[in-house]
Amino acid sequence: MHNVRAEHPFHLLIKPIGPLCNLDCEYCFYLEKEQMFGDKHSFRMTQATLERLTQQYIEAQPAGAQEVNFAWQGGEPTLMGVAFFQQAIDLQRRFGREGMRITNSIQTNGTLLNDEWGAFLKENDFLVGISIDGPEDLHDHYRKTKKGEGSFQQVLAGLGILQKFGIDYNVLCVINRVNAEHPLEVYGALKALGAEHIQFIPIVEYSADPAPRLIPQTIPEQAVPVSLTFQIDAADIPKVPGAAGVSDRSVLPAQFGDFLLAIFNEWRQADIGRVFVQQFENLLATLMGRGPGICVHAPVCGRSLVLEHDGGLYSCDHFVDPQYSLGNISQHALADMVESPQQRKFGTDKFTTLNSECKSCPYLKLCYGGCPAHRLPRVSPKGDTSADASAQTHNYLCEGYKRFFGQASRPLISLIAR
């Protein structure tokens, strides 16, 4: 006896070309996944897998579900070409359920977009997420081509296609230790490019280096309008052994909070109702009692899973790892894997493994400990990790969250009261 339908709504991020990408962004956690699948592996999703996933994803939606969203990600999903996505649309029409709306979104670096893509995305009403890390100098610091050159100009051309065809888009901006020092330049550049919907994604990269280096600044000085003389307090960098350290690209906790706050203060003066920043909208919704819109600040997660190019299902985008494999849609029903004890535990662990600091935190109901992928082991002053590792992990970004929730909540509450 297996489940044809899941009990509750769930969402899939679909990776039709696995980790392959035409760019070589230095911080991309996903590129290293190439090694997980082996040298000779083909990363292109086959027609059979596409068909199976389309049928199962639609079928597996709970009874009464009115919408299902296909979210295409990579790597760089546009490497699959327009014809692949036309097949996907045809299959969605074939397997669509009476009364159910089917939508598509795609996350792209934008560099391969052309008129053919523009016409296709518009005609099929795709919502596009495009990655831009700020103005050219800051964007190009990490987001590079395979030749090691900056990708900003190519991204700009792709953005031009979206604008030319009137395609709905949002900007995904990765916050790293370099651009985090320039919040208003980043925000101003995104607004100048026409962005109205923005998501800021903090980088937290584990590093095997036990003492992550301070930022060696390599941006040419004339390229950066604001002084780069910021000091990184070594005490801000967790001194944890082995893989529990973070890379020198990772945003610092307080730096992330200050970044959000600087933009928040600008936004509330000038942009409320004109620019939608996911973190601000999420906090506002939570304060209004509508619950968090993002899994990171929900008490329980695990309803946003990843379907790899080969049909393999994983617990979450941050956990595409053999340990979090739930099986393959060629062998198991999607709904069974989504509702499996393993996946339910993955979701509830987010809350049950919170440590005592989170449980007694004044911001618990706004934060819920953040994303488990950002929890690092705690260390004693002597440098030993705790014996009870799960209870002693703590969100690396905590200090930033405290700053942001502590200072942004009150102005938002007065906004609600108006």
Nearer to ligand SF4, 187 or 200 (CB): 200
Cβ atoms within 10 Å of 416's Cβ, excluding its own: 10
Cα 345 from Cα 309, distance rounded (Å)? 25
For the bound state, the minimum distance from the C-beta of residue 88 to ligand SF4, rounded and expressed in Å, comes to 24
Phi first, then psi: give them for residue 197, nearest 5 degrees.
-125, 120
For the bound state, the minimum distance from the C-beta of residue 358 to ligand SF4, rounded and expressed in Å, comes to 3
CA distances 125 to 165, 193, 228, 276, 358, Å, are 11, 21, 42, 20, 41
Decide if 317 is catalytic: yes
| Tally of CA atoms within 13 A in the half-sphere of 412 that contains its CB | 21
- DSSP-assigned beta bridge partners for residue 207: 245
CA distances 14 to 54, 83, 308, Å, are 10, 17, 6
DSSP class of 396: T
For the bound state, the minimum distance from the C-beta of residue 350 to ligand SF4, rounded and expressed in Å, comes to 6
Catalytically annotated residue among 168, 317, 336, 349: 317
For the bound state, the minimum distance from the C-beta of residue 257 to ligand SF4, rounded and expressed in Å, comes to 10
DSSP class of 317: G
Told to check if 363 binds ligand SF4 by CB under 6 A, we report yes
For the bound state, the minimum distance from the C-beta of residue 271 to ligand SF4, rounded and expressed in Å, comes to 25
| Tally of CA atoms within 13 A in the half-sphere of 88 that contains its CB | 29
Q: Is the dihedral of CA 391, 393, 399, 400 positive or negative?
A: negative
Nearer to ligand SF4, 165 or 324 (CB): 324
Cα 297 from Cα 370, distance rounded (Å)? 5
Strand order in the sheet with 325-328: 276-277, 197-202, 169-175, 127-131, 101-108, 67-72, 11-14, 304-307, 312-314, 325-328
DSSP class of 388: S
Q: Which of 24, 51, 59, 357 binds ligand SF4 (CB under 6 A)?
A: 357
| Tally of CA atoms within 13 A in the half-sphere of 168 that contains its CB | 10
Told to check if 358 binds ligand SF4 by CB under 6 A, we report yes
For the bound state, the minimum distance from the C-beta of residue 343 to ligand SF4, rounded and expressed in Å, comes to 10
**Residues 134 and 185 sit within 8 Å (Cβ to Cβ):** yes
Stretch that binds ligand SF4, among 161-169, 170-178, 230-238, 362-370 (CB under 6 A): 362-370
Told to check if 295 binds ligand SF4 by CB under 6 A, we report yes
Stretch that binds ligand SF4, among 96-104, 126-134, 232-240, 355-363 (CB under 6 A): 355-363
Told to check if 370 binds ligand SF4 by CB under 6 A, we report yes
For the bound state, the minimum distance from the C-beta of residue 315 to ligand SF4, rounded and expressed in Å, comes to 7
Nearest to 50 by CA among 98, 97, 102, 15: 15
Stretch that binds ligand SF4, among 60-68, 115-123, 353-361, 407-415 (CB under 6 A): 353-361
Nearer to ligand SF4, 227 or 356 (CB): 356
Stretch that binds ligand SF4, among 59-67, 326-334, 379-387, 396-404 (CB under 6 A): 396-404
Told to check if 206 binds ligand SF4 by CB under 6 A, we report no
Nearer to ligand SF4, 139 or 375 (CB): 375
Told to check if 301 binds ligand SF4 by CB under 6 A, we report yes
CA 227 to chain centre: 29
Cα 26 from Cα 207, distance rounded (Å)? 13
Q: Which of 296, 376, 408, 412 binds ligand SF4 (CB under 6 A)?
A: 296
Ranges of beta strands (E only) in 118-234 are 127-131, 169-175, 197-202, 206-207
Told to check if 318 binds ligand SF4 by CB under 6 A, we report yes
Q: Which of 60, 313, 361, 376 binds ligand SF4 (CB under 6 A)?
A: 361
Told to check if 257 binds ligand SF4 by CB under 6 A, we report no
**Residues 154 and 141 sit within 8 Å (Cβ to Cβ):** no
For the bound state, the minimum distance from the C-beta of residue 145 to ligand SF4, rounded and expressed in Å, comes to 28
Stretch that binds ligand SF4, among 128-136, 183-191, 277-285, 360-368 (CB under 6 A): 360-368
Told to check if 172 binds ligand SF4 by CB under 6 A, we report no
Stretch that binds ligand SF4, among 40-48, 75-83, 210-218, 394-402 (CB under 6 A): 394-402
Q: Which of 145, 304, 340, 409 binds ligand SF4 (CB under 6 A)?
A: 304
Q: Using CB under 6 A, list all residues that contact ligand SF4.
A: 295-296, 301-302, 304, 316, 318, 350, 357-358, 361, 363-364, 367, 369-373, 395, 398, 401-402
Active centre residues (catalytic)? 317
